[in-house]
Structure 1
Amino acid sequence: MPTIEPTPWVDPLPAAAPPAGVATYRLPTGTYVTRAALAVTGGAWRDKRHFAATSVLVRHPRGDLLIDAGFGARVADHVRMLNRMERAPFTLGRTVAQQLDDSGYDRSRLLGVLLTHVHWDHVSGLDSLRVPVWINREEAQYAATDAHGAVYRAVSAGLPIHEYALDGPEYLGFSRSLDIHGDGSVVVALAGGHTSGSVVVFVTLPDGQRYGFIGDLTWQLDGVTRGLERPWLLRRMADVDADAVRSGLRRSSALSSVMRIVPSHDLAAYESIPPLPARFAPADA
């Protein structure tokens, strides 16, 4: 059984000085069902996993970002665009757009949606948000040419694209990075492997709590805590470079000793992140 022995992270963490007002909120938009046997090596076929389709709002005085977009209003159409083997029963909740509007959030604060990668379950909600898409060059090229970019190509049509460069230094073992606000509060690092330009988003809050949003380096927390990779067939189907995914997962497992690691599709991984308030106060909207 392929495993990655988790070892604690021992190096110093990068300096960060997040200003007051930096905060994270979870926006769950629905789930879809996958057998554990298809999620992690050694998983049981009878164990059904409800995969999260959750976006995270990162607030910052210089402008807010959403990490991924969750399910959109037309998610049923998006699922029909998938290969039959990739389709799964799903449940749609409220879209990110609906949740933001219901809370009284001022959407003019949004800089855009920062994608961990362009697969359907991370981009579907772009159909309702209509805000800039943050994507790096490697991922944009993958999205334009790979069959798994079909939903992205449909939902991003007509949207402004903010193509950012990962021209900063190595960050926590990942080769290239971008410090979005220049204060260490939101740092994007190239992971690659799952898709050509897939990224990890590191967020540091004013109280010192750190998060690593690792996209699909693994789908479930088992991958982080037990070092379990995807099954062989799923690695062949889902990843462009299994060795790069393995390397990124090894770093993520180590970092779990010093920060909260959030695989995109594990519901429990989001529990420490508060939901949006029922209503933002006018001064905070």
Structure 2
Amino acid sequence: MSQIFLTHTIALMSSLAEPPAWTQPLPEAYPPADMAMYHLPTGTYQTRAALAVRGGSFRDKRQFAASAVLVQHPKGDLLIDAGFGAGVAAHVAMLPRFMRAPYQAGRTVSEQFDAVGYDRRRLLGVLLTHSHWDHTSGLDGLLGSPVWMNANERQYAAEDPDGKVFRLVGQGHEVHEYGFESRPYLGFTNTYDVHDDGSVVVVLAGGHTTGSVIVFVTLPSDRRYTFIGDLTWQIDGIRRRVERPWLLSKLADSDPDQLRQDLLRIIALEGLMQIVPAHDLGSYDGIPLLAPAAATQSR
């Protein structure tokens, strides 16, 4: 009993102070009636909870998602991240030994597109939340699709050691560099409204990598989602208000202070939208898988 009490106490001590809940009206959005969204899981890799969030247990093994999300819009579709690619084994081998983890590869985005007859001409590009290997590996099967990046992330991907896999799989891809406006959005100041209708809004959250982004999506049902990339690796980071373990933060994050501020901004939104950390498989619940009907949806 004392050990359980001690573990609980340590977890509480590591929690961030609870930010005030967001009480202002949510930003206006006018998603078209034929807009839709799909989850494309491409595999998982195993990490212990103790290495994912502060207060996590070494006995708790988490299956980290490697997924993409297709957002269909009559002005053109976007893929948020690319998941595992056909060359994932080689991509894992390029990582420092301490970063390699047991993984299970599923069907790549490219294979899922082909299975349903998806017309790739509809795809405006692959919008990366950031350029780490487990978000970019699948670019190896998406040649011809532009990669959407902001200037900060483009520089990070070109220079940082953790951009090594991207520099391999990004060869042959046009880079569509987008910029931000100084227009507030749910506490964030640098924002980009992709379709000018509030349905897909990208905000700069440069704590994990210097150009990391969060993507807010509003569907015609008025259901809202926020895809937070690696702001936290697991939903525990939101619900328990905990950051990454100190050492992992030092290794993984470009600006831990900025990341903490952005994490608190997202925590304040809990309950107002579905928050999806990229590697928390359960957080994708309710988002349908890509099916043949999606391939023929009218634009």
Provide the TM-score with structure 1 as the length reference.
Answer: 0.97
Say which one has the larger Rg: 2
Q: CA deviation at 1:3?
A: 1.5
* Distance across 1 between alignment mates of 2:210 and 2:296: 41
CA distance in 2, matches of 1:219, 1:231: 11
Answering whether residue 61 of structure 2 is matched by residue 48 of structure 1, we say yes
Shift of 1:8: 2.4
SS in 2 for 1:8: coil
Distance 2:296 2:192 in 1: 32
Per the alignment, residue 271 of structure 2 pairs with 257
What is the SS of the residue equivalent to 2:236? helix
Q: Distance in 1 between matches of 2:229 and 2:237?
A: 12
Amino acid at match of 1:57: L
Q: Which residue of 2 aligns with 1:154?
A: 168
Paired residues of 2:116 and 2:295 also in contact (CA < 8 A): no
Deviation at 1:88, TM superposition (A): 0.5
- 1:281 to 1:49, Cα distance in 2 relative to 1, 3 A: closer
Q: Deviations over 1:232-268 (max 9, x none)?
A: 0001000011111111111111111211110000000
Following superposition, the deviation at residue 6 of structure 1 comes to: 5.3
Question: Mind listing any 5+ residue stretches in structure 2 that lack a counterpart?
Answer: 1-12
Q: Which moved more, 1:111-120 or 1:3-12?
A: 3-12
Partners of 1:168 and 1:61 in 2: how far apart? Answer: 26
The residue that corresponds to 2:15 in the other structure is 3
- The one-letter amino acid paired with 2:149 is I
| TM-score (normalizing by structure 2) | 0.93
Report 1:31-110 matches (<5 A). 31-110=44-123
In structure 2, the residue matched to 1:171 is 185
1:279 & 1:202 partners in 2: Cα distance?
24
Distance 1:2 1:174 in 2: 25
Q: Distance in 2 between matches of 1:277 and 1:226?
A: 35
Give the SS at the match of 2:92.
Answer: helix
Q: Gaps (5+ residues) in structure 1?
A: none
Identity over aligned pairs, percent: 61
Q: 1:212 to 1:283 in 2, by over 3 A?
A: closer
Compute the displacement of 1:167 (Å): 2.4
Counterpart CA distance in 2 for 1:106 and 1:169 is 34
Is the CA contact (8 Å cut-off) linking 1:53 and 1:71 kept in structure 2?
A: yes
RMSD of the TM alignment (CA)?
1.2
